[in-house]
Structure 1
């Protein structure tokens, strides 16, 4: 089932590699200036997709949020697999949608995705 938006996490050191890969394989990336730890822009592929990058969203990990269901990927995991293979870096994503009613335990369940595959783990994100 296609998710309404896509969010992945990547170590901040590799954001330039991600942008280069997106430009080469998906479409032009237009990013505005940083406003604190947030940068907004648009990914121009088959559709214009709003994009937001949040530095230090989880320690050294940045959140990359594609705010559209019109992405090339159906799920966060599909995106994480493509990016991990494309830039040869670990990418993290939620195991699926999460709602507050599910409780905090499910909110901590994530995938680590590398070129070798993926594994589920518990990521205790600190505020």
Structure 2
């Protein structure tokens, strides 16, 4: 089932590289507009939010649409890793507030080491 939005975390990725990837994948990006600690743009028809250093060295990229080329976070993470060559983390599936804290700490890591489910405490 297609997720309503996509969120991935990128380690040490440059905003310029991400902008270029989004432009090639989703369509031309509008300039990033600062909104507090975040930056917002449109990549094609998809609203995007970039939060630098959301968790340590990890930047958050949120694509607020169900019309991306990816079914879910994992598919997007795989594509981002292929394009950018940096470690990507994402939730292994959609997460709901009702789920346990342990489930919230389950993440997928995609890197040169391959794909693996990991525990990542982000708080």
Q: Output the CA distance in 2 between the equivalents of 1:75 and 1:28.
A: 22
Deviates more, 1:74-83 or 1:110-119: 110-119
Structure 1's unaligned 5+ residue stretches are none
- For 1:91, the equivalent position in structure 2 comes to 88
Residues 85-118 of structure 1, C-alpha deviations (whole Å, 9 max, x = no match):
1111111111111112211000010011125531
**Corresponding residue for 1:66?**
63
Match of 2:54 among 46, 57, 64: 57
- CA RMSD in angstroms comes to 1.5
Give the number of equivalent residue pairs: 123
TM, length-normalised to structure 1: 0.88
Q: Mind listing any 5+ residue stretches in structure 2 that lack a counterpart?
A: none
TM-score (normalised: structure 2)? 0.91
CA contact (8 A) 2:26 2:68 kept: no
Further displaced range: 77-86 or 116-125: 116-125
Structure 2 residue 113 is matched with structure 1 residue 111: no
Q: Report the equivalent of 1:102.
A: 99
